[in-house]
Amino acid sequence: MMPLETFSLYVLLCVLAPLVGAFTLSFIMIFERQIDSLQKEANRLKLEKELQHANYDQLNQQIQPHFFFNALNTMLSLARLDRKDELIKGLEVMAKFFKFKYISHASLIKVEDELAYVNNYLEIQRLRFGDRLNVIQTLDKKCEVALLPPFMIQTIVENAFKHGFEKNVGPATLKIIIHHAEDFMYIEIWNTHLIEPLHEKKVNTPHDEGYGIRNIQKRLHLLFPEQATYLIMKHIGNETLVEVKFPLTRYYGKERLL
């Protein structure tokens, strides 16, 4: 006959075993649900990040055809006027421009690369405007190693030509000023002809009117979603100023430091 103490221990084990088993099973299920939840959250964040990159790339690709068509129109005008030497020079500049365009796929590039890109564009415009065009560039030394979204300056400069210089006669002065204050970089682009500010454009404005400016605003939001950025366009005297502000990001070798 089983001793009383042994029997009591046996009963206790019979009672506790299902409880321990149920507790262990519940713990495992809760743990698995937590792991699954964390995995789903990680996937969601990854998908959001990929969507941001996709949106950025889409916006970036939408901006580029404008210069392409403007450059072709310039080459066509030179050909019609039989200005062969200038046409050849223009084609060489275009080749340099598109070489840079198709080897650059980064979301941020160095200021010096962007300015090289812009200067190729300006070389083509000088073929059209001749002595009428005056360009002034000022670059803060600290901003030489800074990064910015590609095609930002070029887009604003193109906007100055498309909606300012090309619609007015007389001298055309373009100023590009890049400087910093505290932890932000500022890009100022001035032109000597008034451009209708974006917020004042009429409802029936052509589809591409001001599109480049809105594109820059969207790209800044995608790149710096939690930091202060702005793009403003305003008239000061007889000039139009487009000013952009975004976090100063410096480039050191392969590293990117905010």
pLDDT of residue 74: 79
- pLDDT over threshold 90, residue 137: yes
- pLDDT over threshold 90, residue 187: yes
Strand partners, 173: 134
Q: CB of 174 within 8 A of CB of 133?
A: yes
Task: Give me the helix-helix angle, 65-80 and 84-103, nearest 10°.
Answer: 170
- pLDDT over threshold 60, residue 2: no
Report the topology of domain 64-257. Heat Shock Protein 90 (3.30.565)
Q: Return contacts of 97-101, CB within 8 angstroms, 24+ apart.
A: 97/67, 97/71, 97/121, 97/124, 101/64
pLDDT of residue 85: 85
pLDDT: is 39 or 248 the higher one? 248
Residue 207 — pLDDT band, cuts 50, 70, 90?
Answer: very low
pLDDT of residue 39: 74
pLDDT: is 33 or 25 the higher one? 33
Beta carbons within 8 Å of 246's beta carbon, 6+ residues apart: 148, 184, 185, 220, 223, 224, 227, 229
Token representation of residue 219: 């790209």
pLDDT of residue 209: 46
Residue 177 — pLDDT band, cuts 50, 70, 90?
Answer: very high
Token representation of residue 227: 């930091």
pLDDT of residue 230: 92
Domain map (residue ranges) of the chain: 14-63, 64-257
Phi-psi region of 137 (alpha: psi -120 to 50; beta: other; left: phi over 0): beta
Element (H, E) at 151: none
pLDDT of residue 31: 60
Mean pLDDT confidence for 137-160: 89
pLDDT of residue 203: 37
CA distances from 252 to 27, 77, 100, 116, 249 (A): 49, 43, 21, 19, 10
Token representation of residue 200: 């004042």
Least confident of 102-116, 165-179, 212-226, 231-245: 102-116
User: Rounded mean pLDDT of the chain?
Assistant: 77
Q: Is the pTM of this model over 0.75?
A: no
Mean pLDDT confidence for 10-16: 57
Beta carbons within 8 Å of 108's beta carbon, 6+ residues apart: 147, 148, 149, 150, 223, 249, 256
Q: What is the DSSP letter of 170?
A: S
pLDDT of residue 89: 83
pLDDT of residue 232: 92
Least confident of 33-47, 52-66, 78-92, 185-199: 52-66
Beta carbons within 8 Å of 175's beta carbon, 6+ residues apart: 135, 136, 137, 138, 188, 189, 190, 191
Q: DSSP for 180-242?
A: EETTEEEEEEEESS----GGG--TT--TTTTHHHHHHHHHHHHHSTTS--EEEEEEETTEEEE
CA distances from 203 to 195, 199, 207, 209 (A): 17, 10, 10, 11
Q: CB of 134 within 8 A of CB of 171?
A: yes
Q: What is the bridge-based pairing of β-strands 133-139 and 172-181?
A: parallel
pLDDT of residue 107: 77
Mean pLDDT confidence for 51-59: 65
| pLDDT-above-90 percentage for the chain | 20
The rounded distance, in Å, linking the Cα atoms of 162 and 197 is 14
Residue 229 — pLDDT band, cuts 50, 70, 90?
Answer: very high
